[in-house]
Amino acid sequence: MNERAAHTVAQAPGPSIAVVIPCYRAAATIRDVLAGIGPEVGAIYCVDDASTDDTAAIITQAMRRDGRIHLVLRPVNGGVGAAMIDGYRAAIADGARALVKIDSDGQMNPALIAHFAAPILDGRADYVKGNRFFTVDSVRSMPALRIIGNAGLSFLTKLSTGYWDLFDPTNGYTAIHADVAAALPLDRLHRRYFFESDLLFRLGITRARVVELPMTAHYGEETSHLSVVKCLLTFPGLHARNILKRIFYSYFLRNFSIASLNLLFGMLLVGFGLIFGVEQWAAAAVTGTPATAGTVMLSALPFLLGVQLLHSFLAHDMAMTPRESIQDRLSALRILPASAAQPIPTDAHAADRHSRFIGDKHA
């Protein structure tokens, strides 16, 4: 074992539970959020995403009363995803095991932090997310536009991530194992509000186990920076991109099975049946001559067979939902040879991604 590997194994353990809070213009709510975090949390990382109010000043005041709080300042506003990536990296560097995300607007109950971290710490899950649709009462408390938006995006999320048993894809109350987060290509994650959905896509590619926990959210007078209408307009295209990438990665690049053939031939047969059928219908409409029974069957039979093959592919895809945690298998990634160490960025663009830390050992 080389010197770097020995140092990595022998380094002092960090906090078991770390909370990451992306903050943007949260001066009115962040003080109460921090006050509600219990003693089970070992470290709290507040990432100020270039707020234009007194968010940073309020967090700095809270740091004097609570030594667990660390302030990460971003020089420019990058979005919730960019803030979370900085927070994840800070917590991972400090040796945390379970990284719990809560928002700064006060809608998420800090008392649930230990419940979200528990499946991570006992090895039952690699990623935990909240589900506000578990009970009827929880749904009734949600704004109608949020209900419609979540229902419309959930099916696309299932297709793009491969987690067919999940719902409420935009829920931001999450927890992830530090080793799993470190293994993900954090630089490639979406920087804005598609972050949670994009993270699920990456977790699906790595075959990480995801579980949901029932929860309720409090919707008060706070202003949300998330535009539901904008999400409904932009998220479908992003999901379509991830659907194509997931299918290519999972069924053609990393693996090739009977499901891959079902998908390939199913799409070809459905496409042929549709195109041939439309052409024959158009020709019959122009000439006034009805299509023969053989012509109809030549269109319908490939189409129906293709639908059956696609149905078989979907059944296989649903059955392949990850059921086992991968966090133990990723522990070896913590022991890296010196040649694999990530270099410190020297260009201005890369250096801009490294935030400034205040009040802790990263200063």
Are both 131 and 224 inside the same structural domain? Answer: yes
pLDDT at 320: 93
Query: What is the pTM (predicted TM-score) of this model?
Result: 0.82
Inside any domain, residue 324: no
Give the bridge partners for 23, in sequence order.
48
Query: Of 2-16, 58-72, 143-157, 340-354, which one has max mean pLDDT?
Result: 58-72
Q: What is the pLDDT of residues 260-286, one digit of tens each?
A: 999 999 999 999 999 999 999 998 888
Question: What length does the chain have?
Answer: 363
Are both 308 and 344 inside the same structural domain? Answer: no
Inside any domain, residue 48: yes
In the predicted structure, residue 181 carries a pLDDT above the cut 50: yes
pLDDT at 330: 81
* C-alpha angle 67-98-25 in degrees, rounded to nearest 5: 60
Inside any domain, residue 185: yes
Are both 287 and 222 inside the same structural domain? Answer: no
Structural domain of 78 = 3-252+330-358
Spatial separation of the C-alpha atoms in residues 8 and 93, rounded to whole Å: 11
pLDDT category of residue 329 using cuts at 50, 70 and 90: confident
pLDDT category of residue 10 using cuts at 50, 70 and 90: very low
Q: Which of 72-76, 95-99, 132-136, 329-333 has the lowest mean pLDDT?
A: 329-333
Are both 162 and 208 inside the same structural domain? Answer: yes
Q: Which of 79-93, 229-243, 290-304 has the lowest mean pLDDT?
A: 229-243
Are both 202 and 245 inside the same structural domain? Answer: yes
Inside any domain, residue 325: no
Residue 36 burial (CB count, 10 A): 14
pLDDT at 153: 82
What is the average pLDDT value for the chain, to the nearest integer? 85
Spatial separation of the C-alpha atoms in residues 345 and 210, rounded to whole Å: 33
Taking a C-beta distance cutoff of 8 angstroms, is the pair 131, 56 a contact? no
In the predicted structure, residue 7 carries a pLDDT above the cut 70: no
Inside any domain, residue 124: yes
Are both 92 and 162 inside the same structural domain? Answer: yes
Are both 268 and 346 inside the same structural domain? Answer: no
Inside any domain, residue 18: yes
Count of structural domains within the chain: 2
CATH assignment of the domain containing 52: 3.90.550.10
Inside any domain, residue 149: yes
Q: What is the mean pLDDT of residues 24-29?
A: 94
pLDDT category of residue 335 using cuts at 50, 70 and 90: low
pLDDT at 219: 59
Spatial separation of the C-alpha atoms in residues 291 and 249, rounded to whole Å: 42
Tokens of 175: 């927890």
Inside any domain, residue 363: no
Question: Between 356 and 31, where is the model more confident?
Answer: 31
Are both 126 and 95 inside the same structural domain? Answer: yes
Are both 282 and 173 inside the same structural domain? Answer: no
Are both 34 and 116 inside the same structural domain? Answer: yes
Spatial separation of the C-alpha atoms in residues 146 and 139, rounded to whole Å: 10
Spatial separation of the C-alpha atoms in residues 279 and 271, rounded to whole Å: 12
Are both 26 and 39 inside the same structural domain? Answer: yes
Spatial separation of the C-alpha atoms in residues 291 and 335, rounded to whole Å: 68
Spatial separation of the C-alpha atoms in residues 154 and 199, rounded to whole Å: 15
pLDDT at 220: 56
Q: Which of 80-94, 156-170, 219-233, 320-334 has the lowest mean pLDDT?
A: 219-233
Q: Which of 284-288, 293-297, 352-356 has the lowest mean pLDDT?
A: 352-356
Are both 348 and 304 inside the same structural domain? Answer: no
Q: Give the 3-state secondary structure of the chain.
A: CCHHHHHHHHCCCCCCEEEEEEECCCCCCHHHHHHCCCCCCCEEEEEECCCCCCHHHHHHHHHHHCCCEEEEECCCCCCHHHHHHHHHHHHHHCCCCEEEECCCCCCCCHHHHHHHHHHHHCCCCCEEEEECCCCHHHHHCCCHHHHHHHHHHHHHHHHHHCCCCCCCCCCCCEEEEHHHHHHCCHHHCCCCCCHHHHHHHHHHHCCCCEEEEECCCCCCCCCCCCCHHHHHHHHHHHHHHHHHHHHHHHHHHCCCCHHHHHHHHHHHHHHHHHHHHHHHHHHHHHHCCCCCHHHHHHHHHHHHHHHHHHHHHHHHHHHCCCCCCCCCCCHHHHCCCHHHCCCCCCCHHHHCCCCEEECCCCC
pLDDT category of residue 1 using cuts at 50, 70 and 90: very low
